[in-house]
Structure 1
Amino acid sequence: MNRKVGIKDIAARAEVAASTVSHVLNGTATISLEVRERVLGAARELGYLARRREKATIAVLRSIMLAVPSDTLPNNQHNLFSWTLLSRLMRECERRSIRVLPIEVDTPNFSGAKLVEQARQAEVDGILLLSDDRADLLRAIAGSRIPAVLMNGEDHEMQIDSVTPGNRFAARYATNWLIKQGHRSIMHLTWEGRGTVRRRRDGFLDAFRANELSLETAYVHYAEGYFPDMGAAAMRRWIDKHDGLGGVTAIFCAADNLALGVIGALQEANYSLPNDISLVGFDGVALGEFTSPTLTTVSVPLDYIGLAALNLLEQRIVAADPGMPANRLELGCRLTVRGSVRSLR
C-alpha cells in the first residue's frame, strides 16, 4: 500500500521548510509568489491537493431526482449530446454514492406539481432537470423550495440555479473564426428550438456585427428539427431555391446532427467539402471524428455540465438561505478544427 503524501513530502519536493508548506496551504502567513507557486506545484504533482479537496467535500447529497425528456434515455446516434452528459453525471453520482431517481418529464398528463409531489414522496435532497425549461415547470419547482438545478436550459425568470454551455459566446467565436478564414457569405442552419438554440443564432449574428459586416450575407436558414434527415432536407431546399449554393461559402450548423445531414445532401448534389463549401457544427459529439472530411465543430464541455450542476446543488443546500439569488453558470466551449473548413485567404 502506498504511503500517504504529507507536508514533509511536499517540503522536500519544493525544497522549503515544512512550516512554509503549512503557511502556503493554510494561508497563515505572507509567502513570496515564487515560493508559493513552487509549494503548490509540488503539492499538485504529488496528488496532495486533489486528495485534500476530495476529503473536504461535504457529503450533503444522498439522493437526487433526475428529470429528463424521454428521448434522452435511449442511447442512439441522435442524442449523443444528452447521453454523454448523463453518462458522466451518473458516473459521478455513483462515485459519490448518490442515489438517482430518474423521471420522464414529457409523458402525458405530467406537470410540475406532479414532479414536486414525487420528489417530496421520495424525500430527495434535490432535483436536476435536463433540457426542459418550460416556465410552468420551473415555477412549480421554484415554489416547492426543493433545491434544484436546470442543466442545458434557460430560466428566463431566474428562479432556480442553472448551468449551460456558453452558447452565444461560442457561436460568436466560431463565426468570427470563419470570417477570419475569409468567409463573408455564411449560412446558419438552425431550427425553432429552445432558448439555448436561439442563443447560438444570436452569437452568429453578433460576429457579423462585431466585424462590421452586412447582415444581408448572414443567412439564417431553418430546418424542421435537429435530426440529420431534417438537416439534409433543409439543405436540399436551399439548393433547389437558389439553383446551387447561392453564393454561400460556409455553413455553421446549430448542432452536429444537422451537419451530418448537410454532409449527405451536399454529396448527393455533387458538392465537395471543403473545396466547394466549408462546414462547422456545434456540440462536439464523437460522430464528427468519423465523417469525411472530419467535422470542425464547437465542442461543448459535456463532461462538466453535470459536475457543475451537482456543485451548485450542494452549494444551495449548504447555504440553506431562501433569499439566496439564483445562479446562472455558463461553461466555456472550444473550437475543434478538423478537415471540413477551407480558408479563402
Structure 2
Amino acid sequence: MKAPEQYDPSKASAKSSVPTPTAAPRGNTVKSPAIPAGTPTITQTRKRTARADKKPFQWAFLLPRYWGIWLLFVMFLPMIYLPLRWQFWLGRQLGIFIYKAAGSRRRDTLINLKLAFPEKPEAERELMAKQVFVNQGIGVFETLCAWFRPNVFTRTISISGLQHLINAQNDNRPVILLGAHYTMLDLGGLFCAQFFPLDCMYRTQNNPLLDWFIYNGRTNIFGKQISSRDMRSLVSSIKAGHVIWYSPDQDYGLKQGVMAPFFGVPAATITASRRMAKLGSKDHPPAVIALHTYRQTPDNLPRGKRPHYHLTITPELDNYPSNNEVADATRVNEVLEGLIRIDPTQWMWFHRRFKHGPNGRTDIYK
C-alpha cells in the first residue's frame, strides 16, 4: 500500500526560529560540552523517586458501558509486540481513518491551523492536519509500548540541554519542566525517566476505566502523579526538590489564567506555572525549564533503520516569575511555540486551544 503523503516541516513556508533537530548519535546518552566529563547524572546523585501505588481494579469496570474500551484494548495490545516499523504503519492507517471519521475533530484542527498559520495555503494546512492525525495514530502505539513494552525503545534516544536540568538539581533546586501535549506524550515521559526521575501533574479522566488504564500505565514512568487539585502533594514534591512535568498549553478558561498570544492569536493561558515557581524556598527557588520531544519516523530514515527520538531541554527562564502575569504567560507561550514550530504536526492541534476569549467562550468552532 502506498504510504500517505506527509507534511515536511523543512519545506514549510514559515521558517521557525528554532532549528529542526538533525539525526543525533544513537544511544541513551549524549555528551554535552556544558557538562564536564565524569559529572554524575541525576539518577546517580539523587535517589530515584519511589513509584506510586497503582489504582485498584473495580468490578464495575466489567459493566457493559465499559465494553467498548475493553474491546479496543484487547484489539491493540497484542499489536505492540510487532516490529516498530509495522506499528508505525498501523499507526498511520489508524490516523488516516480517524482523520476521515472524526469530522468535528478534523474541523477543529483545520480551524486551529488556519488561525495559527494564516500565511500558509489551504492545501498545505490540510496536509498538516492529516499528518497531525497520522502522528497521533502512531502515538497510540508509542503510548501502549511506553506502558507495557518500554525496552523496545533502547538505542533510539538522544538528548540536548540536559545540563540545564542537572545544574539546577545539583544546586538542590526543584525543576518545573514545561512540557506540551505532543502526540508522543507518554513516550516522552518514559524517555525523560531514563535520564532523570520526575513527577507529573495530571487531570483525572471523566471515564473511570480510561483513567484507571492511564494512571496505572504511568506508574511505570513517573515517580508520583500529582492531581491538579492536590496542592499538598505538589508542595511536597517541590520542597523535596523533584522534577515536575507540567503542560500549560491547553485552554482551561480564565478562572486561573489570562489572555496571552499563542501563534499570534489571543488565547486563554493558565498561569499555574508561575504560581508553582513561587512555592520553593528563597535559597532554592524552582527552575522553570521547557521540554520538547521530537520523533523522526521511519518514513524519513533509510530502509531498515529504527525510528529516532530527540529530547530538547531549554535554558532556565530567567527572572521568572515577574510581577506581571500576562508577561509571564506570554513568555511561556513564546517558548512553547518556538518548540512546537520544529514540527507543528507533532502537537495535538485537535484540541480547542482558542475556545475562550476575554469575555468567555468564543464561537469560532461552531
User: What TM-score do you get using the length of structure 2 for normalisation?
Assistant: 0.31
Pick the structure with more helix per residue.
Answer: 1
User: What TM-score do you get using the length of structure 1 for normalisation?
Assistant: 0.32
